[in-house]
A and B are shown apart, each in its own frame.
Chain A
Amino acid sequence: MIAQILSFLSLQIFKSSTVRELWAKNHREFEFNTGPWTPLQKPTKESKLCLITSGGLHLNTDPPFDTSDSNGDPTLRTIPLNSDQNKWKITHNYYDHSDAERDWNLIFPLERLRELRNFGKIGALANNHYSLMGHITGPHLPTLLHQTARELADRLRDEHTDLALLVPA
């Protein structure tokens, strides 16, 4: 019971933008002195793009992200390109997603990317796009880094994706 109360309180506290800014300022779970680099292989107008969000989006027919765990849910959800937006849902208690539910483009701009593809700015969109739940902490960070991220990278490679656009929430 105490754990549930603490979890509820932490979720409510994180709805404050000031608290979240402070969290981001002091978030030092990972820190690197160098980063990966893959030069662009071809112009974006000839490339296949995959969209990834950390906004907790999922199909309402898929399991929701686990919001009962105060360390978050490090698993992955697939959003097919041609999925029905009426079946999209956000399960994420650490930000206000009421506007995103009015306009999915705020965190998952697939509709706008379709337009850019139609206008020739992007070569193609991948058949599958992906969603994670942000605010992963503690014991779930190694799972995110060594398991989920690798699974996602494997899928991007298998689907011959050239570009990945990650939109945080």
Chain B
Amino acid sequence: MRRISERLFLPRSYHLRYPFGHALGEVENRNQQLQILVDCLNLLENAEKPGTIIDAPYLWKRHQFEELFPS
């Protein structure tokens, strides 16, 4: 999907190497889903030019996500 983002020259992209149908990660993994969304919001605030792509450091089912917000 990263190649498609590059070819389309999207303004801002956040790239995760996760399986199709799992854009936000794993089922019921609230911490993971919130972390990814916060990263996307940070990208919105920090990107300075079109075509900005951030590669997420979170490996599929290997990263332990911390609680960002109390549930």
Interface residues of A (CB under 8 A from B): 17, 20, 24-25, 27-28, 30-38, 40, 43-44, 55, 95-100, 102-103, 105-107, 109, 112-113, 115-116, 119, 121-122, 163, 165, 167-169
Q: Is the interface of B mostly helix, strand, loop or mixed?
A: loop
Nearest Cβ in chain B — how far from A31, in angstroms? 5
* A15 CA to B50 CA, complexed, in Å: 32
**Known contacts A44-B41, A112-B37, A122-B41; A35 and B8 CB within 8 A of each other:** yes
**Known contacts A43-B45, A113-B37, A163-B44; A32 and B7 CB within 8 A of each other:** yes
What is the count of residue pairs linking A and B with beta-carbon distances less than 8 angstroms? 96
Further contacts, 9 of them, CB under 8 A, given A32-B9, A36-B50, A109-B37 = A17-B20, A30-B8, A31-B7, A35-B9, A36-B11, A105-B24, A107-B21, A109-B24, A116-B37
4 tightest A-B CB contacts, nearest first: A35-B9, A35-B50, A37-B50, A95-B20
Chain A residues near B19: list those with CB within 8 A: 17
- Of the A-B pairs whose beta carbons lie under 8 Å apart in the complex, a sample of 18, sorted by A's number, is A24-B4, A32-B9, A33-B9, A35-B10, A36-B50, A44-B41, A44-B44, A44-B45, A55-B21, A99-B21, A100-B21, A105-B24, A106-B27, A112-B34, A112-B37, A116-B69, A119-B69, A121-B41
* A113 CA to B41 CA, complexed, in Å: 11
* A109 CA to B30 CA, complexed, in Å: 10
B23 contacts chain A at the CB level, 8 A cutoff: yes
Q: Is the interface of A mostly helix, strand, loop or mixed?
A: loop
Nearest Cβ in chain A — how far from B50, in angstroms? 4
Chain A residues near B4: list those with CB within 8 A: 24, 27
**Known contacts A44-B44, A116-B41; A34 and B50 CB within 8 A of each other:** yes
**Known contacts A35-B11, A44-B41; A112 and B24 CB within 8 A of each other:** yes
Task: Please give me the residue from chain B that is nearest to A166 by CB atom.
Answer: B10
B59 contacts chain A at the CB level, 8 A cutoff: no
Task: Please give me the residue from chain B that is nearest to A119 by CB atom.
Answer: B69
Q: Of the candidates B1, B22, B33, which one forms a contact with A112 in the assembled complex, judged by CB atoms under 8 Å apart?
A: B33
Nearest Cβ in chain A — how far from B47, in angstroms? 8
Q: Of the candidates B10, B24, B40, B69, which one forms a contact with A107 in the assembled complex, judged by CB atoms under 8 Å apart?
A: B24
Check A106 against B40 for contact (C-beta < 8 Å).
no
